[in-house]
């Protein structure tokens, strides 16, 4: 590695030469890096090619799941969602123990109990997780997608943000095939309640069972609002809302 000499020290790239500082020393080197052609063809980079193929597949699976449930995701997510979801789906892909390295698939991993368990309970908004918002027990019926919250007392069983006056809840049932991209989703009607409501059981039932050849994903969304002069406004762009993937079957 060549050192820079002289009074004027340079940092940056000029043509094919890069000038940079390492500690107190100014160095210079040829602009380089491994060529795309070498990565694509050199046997020494076989593992790199395998990792790249699987990374691309996981990224596609993450986008597919987010897009398939975009109506709810837009109401409760944070800026790190894609990274977090890809981390989980990479582990799901690792549950594919039948495909050769470089060809392991998320949909094969989801065919295992271990893979499905990895996605169960995934929170789309890490700032507001379902278990930290909802203290009431609930039951999910996977045959209909119905979420039942027995004897809910909002003021006592919901950790509502300051200045909120109302809560809205909605469930969803998604049929998604990660292999083919086929998807269908059904939502329950939104249940909107004042936070000072007395005890009552809440039932969230999707309008139907989505058809398709994929697996079923069940979601629960909780949103908070502030009512001013009869109009309800979302709090802080949904930062306090929770969206959880309850189950995968």
String of DSSP letters for 136-162: S-EEEETTTTEEEEEEE-HHHHB-PPT
- Whole-model pTM? 0.81
Positive or negative torsion for Cα 153, 147, 72, 92: positive
Given a contact cutoff of 8 angstroms between Cβ atoms, the answer to whether 121 and 218 are in contact is no
Question: Which range has highest mean pLDDT (50-54, 55-59, 213-217)?
Answer: 213-217
Query: Which has the minimum average pLDDT: 149-163, 167-181, 224-238?
Result: 224-238
236 vs 41, higher pLDDT: 236
CA 82 to chain centre: 5
Are the C-beta atoms of residues 126 and 84 closer than 8 Å to each other? Answer: yes
Contact by Cβ (8 Å): 172, 221: yes
| 58 sits in which H/E element | helix 46-68
Given this model, what pLDDT does residue 236 score? 73
Burial class (CB in 10 A: 0-12, 13-18, 19+), 19: middle
Domain 123-248, CATH 3.40.50 — does that match?
no
CB-based burial, 172-206: b 16+ in 10 Å, e otherwise: bbbbbebeeeebbbbbbeeeeeebeeeeeebebbb
**CA-angle at 99, arms to 95 and 102, nearest 5°:** 95
**Structure tokens that stand for 173 in this block:** 């049932």
**DSSP SS3 for 221:** strand
Nearest CA-CA partner of 172 in 209, 201, 132: 209
- The H or E element that residue 123 is part of is strand 122-123
The per-residue pLDDT for 139 is 96
Q: Are strands 2-3 and 25-30 parallel, antiparallel or unpaired?
A: antiparallel
List, for residues 60-74, the tens digit of each pLDDT value: 999 999 999 999 999
Which residues of the chain are in CATH 2.60.40 domains?
123-248
Rounded Cα–Cα distance for residues 103 and 53 (Å): 7
Q: Does position 116 have pLDDT exceeding 90, yes or no?
A: yes
Instruction: Using the predicted structure, report yes or no on whether residue 196 has a pLDDT greater than 80.
Output: yes
How far CA 191 is from CA of 66, 148, 196, 242, in Å, comes to: 23, 12, 15, 15
Each residue of 82-107: pLDDT tens digit? Answer: 999 999 999 999 999 998 888 899 99
Q: What average pLDDT score do residues 140-165 get?
A: 93
């Amino acid at each position: 590695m060549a050192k820079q000499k002289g009074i004027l020290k340079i940092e940056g790239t000029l043509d094919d030469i890069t000038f940079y500082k390492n500690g107190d020393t100014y160095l210079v080197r040829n602009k380089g890096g491994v060529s795309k052609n070498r990565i694509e063809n050199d046997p020494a980079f076989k593992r790199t090619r395998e990792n790249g193929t699987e990374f691309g597949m996981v990224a596609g699976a993450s986008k597919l799941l987010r897009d398939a449930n975009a109506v709810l995701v837009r109401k409760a997510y944070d800026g790190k969602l894609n990274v977090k979801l890809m981390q989980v789906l990479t582990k799901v892909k690792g549950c594919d123990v039948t495909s050769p390295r470089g060809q392991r698939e998320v949909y094969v991993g989801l065919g295992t109990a271990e893979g499905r368990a990895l996605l169960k309970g995934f929170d789309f908004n890490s700032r507001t997780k379902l278990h930290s918002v909802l203290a009431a027990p609930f039951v999910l019926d996977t045959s209909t997608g119905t979420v039942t919250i027995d004897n809910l007392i909002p003021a006592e069983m919901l950790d509502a943000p300051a200045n909120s006056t109302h809560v809205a809840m909605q469930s969803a049932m998604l049929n998604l095939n990660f292999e083919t991209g086929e998807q269908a989703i059904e939502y329950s009607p939104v249940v909107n309640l004042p936070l000072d409501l007395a005890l009552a059981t809440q039932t969230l039932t999707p309008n139907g069972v989505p058809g398709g050849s994929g697996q079923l994903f069940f979601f629960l969304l909780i949103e908070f609002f502030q009512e001013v002069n009869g109009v309800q406004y979302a709090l802080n762009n949904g930062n306090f809302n929770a969206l959880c993937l309850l189950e995968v079957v």
